[in-house]
Structure 1
C-alpha cells in the first residue's frame, strides 16, 4: 500500500491557501466559537444567580438579553476570526468582513428588541388596562424604528446605496404625517400622558371650566366624568395644551374664609375672636391652624380672615371638617355674645322744621339718605 506524500499535500492549495492554512483557519474558527459560547454560558449562569438573589431589574434584563445570543451569530463571528489566518483576495476578504459586521448588527438588534420588550412589559405591569394600548403602540414604534435602522445599516454594510431609499422614506413619511397630523398629534400626546403621567384614571382634575374624574385615557381622546354626571371628551392634544389642576395629588388643602363681625362689638370681645377660632380649629384632627386676624374695616362689618390647612386631598372629608368648624364657631359666638354682621341700610328722616326751612328757602328737598 502506497503512503501519501505529506509534502505533496502541503503543496495543494484552495483559493490561494494551502491545506495547512485552511486547517489552521478551521481550528481557529472552532476554538473562537467554543470560547465565545463558553464565555456566554458562564456569564449567563453567573448573572442568573445574581438576578435570583437581587430585586433589581437591570440584571434580569441582562439575563434576558444574553439568553437571546444566538449560536448562528457566534459561528459567524468565529468564521470571521478564522478568516484572518487566510490569504484571501480583496473581494473575498471584504465579503467575509461584511458578513461578520452584519451578524454583529443583527445580534445587537436582537438584544435591543429584547430590551424594548422587557421595558414594555414593565409598563404593562405598572399601568392600568386603559393605558396599555399606548404602551403597546410606543413599544411597537420603538422596535420598528430599531429594526429599520439596523436593516438600513446592513444594506449599507453590503455596499447598497441607501441614500435614495432614505430620501424616499423621508418624503413618504412627511406626506403621511401631513395627512394625519391631527391623529398623530393626539397619538403622541397619548404617549406623553403615558410617560409623564400628569394625571391617571380616577384623578379629579379641573380643565378650564370642566371639573370631574378621569374615566378613560385612550390613544386619541381622554374622557372625564363631570360633576353633573355628563361625560366630557377631550382630544389628547388639546388637553395637554390646557392648564390642568390635579386635585388628587394635592397633599394638603389650604382653606381661607372671612368672618364678618358687627360694628359696635366691644374691644374685649373683638380680642377674644382670634383666640376662640384658634381653640376651635386646633382641636380638630388633620387640621393645622395658621392664623386669624382682623384685616379689614368693611362698609358694614369688621372682617376677620381665618386660614388653616387640611391634611388630606379628600374633598368630602374637607367639607365635613369645615362644617364642624363653622358650627362650633357659631355656637361659641352665641355663648360669648358676639354678633355676626349682615348688610343693612339706614334711612334717616329729616326733622319737620328742617323740611319747612328747605321749602321756604327753595332748597331741593333731601328727605332721606342711605348709608
Structure 2
C-alpha cells in the first residue's frame, strides 16, 4: 500500500508595516509628482470652499427657532449640519487619484471617506427626521414641558438608532462579520420591548396626543362618565380636574382607547329642557307656550332652536325646549342654563301656567255606571233648609 501523504501547509508570515519604507515611498511620491500634488491640493481647497459656501447657504434657510418650519427650512437645517471633516474628505476623495498617490494613501483616503460619508448621512437623516417632527409641533406651547421632554426623548432614540446603523455599516466595510452583532441587537431590542411594553405603550400614546392633537391642555373633555378639564399631558399619564373638583389620573394608552368628546372647541352647545304643565291649562295658554319660550331664550341672548308639545304624560302635558349656548368656552354653560330655567319659572308663574307634579284622582262608579262620591255626604239638608249632620 502506498503511504498516505500528509497535507501540505503553506507558511504565511505577516510582517508589520515598515515605517521606513512607507516614509521613503511617500517622500519619493512628493518628489516625483509635486506638480500634480500642488494642483490637486488647489482643486481640493476650491471644492472644500464650495461645500463650505453651500453649508452657509443652508444656514440661511434653516429658519428661526420657534417659527413655522417649511420643507426648505428642514433641508436647510440638514445642510447646515454638514461637518468640516466630511467636506475635507470629499475634496480629498475627488482629487486624490489625480496625484497618483501610493496604494496606501489611496486606501487610507478611501477608508476615511467611507467613515465620514456614513456618519454624515446619519447626521443628515437625523436632522431631517427631527425637523419634520418639529414641523408638526412648532408653536404648540400648550404642551410645554411635555413637548420638550418628548422631543428630547425622540432626539435620543433617533440619534441612537441612526448612529447604530452607521456603526454597523462601517464595520461591514472594514470586513467585520456583523451578522452576530445585528442578531444580538435585534434580540436585545425585542427583550427590552417586551419588558417595558407598558411604558412604551403610554409613551407612544403621549406622542400621539402631542402630534395628532385630539385634545390640548386646558380643554374640557368627556370620556366614559367623566367630564374634566385637562391640566397636564405627561409622557406616562394625563392629569385632569373633574367638574366636581376631583383630580383624575389616567394612563395615556388607556385614555386613547376611550371615546373622547371635546367640549372646548364647540361653537355652540345644545341645552334641552323638559317641561310638564297641568291638563287643566286653558287652550290658548297651552298654544302660546312655544312662542313664550322662544321669547325667554332670545331675551337671555341664547340661540332658540325649537319648542313644542312632545307627549301626553300620566299627569302632565309634556313640552320640550331646545336652545344653544353660543361659544360655551366664553360663556358659562351651567350659568346660562340656570338663567333660562329661572326665567321660565318666573314667566310661567306670571302667566298663570302651572307646572304639573305627579297626582292621581280616584273616581267611584255606581252599579249603573254613574260616578258617585266615594263616601256619603256628611251634611243633609232637610225640607226646612237646615243643615243637619247625619
TM-score computed with the length of structure 2 as normaliser: 0.74
The 5-angstrom pairing of residues 1-371 of structure 1 reads 23-24=35-36, 26-41=38-53, 44=56, 48=60, 57-58=69-70, 61=74, 64-85=77-98, 96-114=109-127, 126=141, 127-285=143-301, 287-314=302-329, 317-351=332-366
- CA distance in 2 between counterparts of 1:138 and 1:18 reads 49
Residue 93 of structure 1 and its aligned partner are, at CA, apart by 5.2
Could you tell me which runs of 5 or more consecutive residues in structure 1 were left unpaired when the two chains were aligned: 1-11, 356-366
Residue 167 of structure 1 and its aligned partner are, at CA, apart by 0.9
- CA distance in 2 between counterparts of 1:219 and 1:320 reads 36
Q: 1:145 to 1:123 in 2, by over 3 A?
A: farther
- CA distance in 2 between counterparts of 1:56 and 1:187 reads 25
Residue in 1 that maps onto 2:379: none
- CA distance in 2 between counterparts of 1:78 and 1:289 reads 75
Three-state SS of the structure 2 residue aligned to 1:170 is: helix
- CA distance in 2 between counterparts of 1:188 and 1:133 reads 13
Q: Deviations over 1:10-33 (max 9, x none)?
A: xx9869979665642552343133
Pairwise CA RMSD of aligned residues? 3.6
Deviating beyond 6 angstroms after TM superposition, the runs of 4 or more aligned structure 1 residues are: 12-18, 88-92
CA contact (8 A) 2:229 2:241 kept: yes
CA contact (8 A) 2:55 2:80 kept: no
Residue 343 of structure 1 and its aligned partner are, at CA, apart by 1.6
Larger radius of gyration: 2
Q: 1:56 to 1:220 in 2, by over 3 A?
A: closer
Q: 1:314 to 1:272 in 2, by over 3 A?
A: same
User: Which stretch shifts more, 321-330 or 90-99?
Assistant: 90-99
Q: 1:89 to 1:14 in 2, by over 3 A?
A: closer
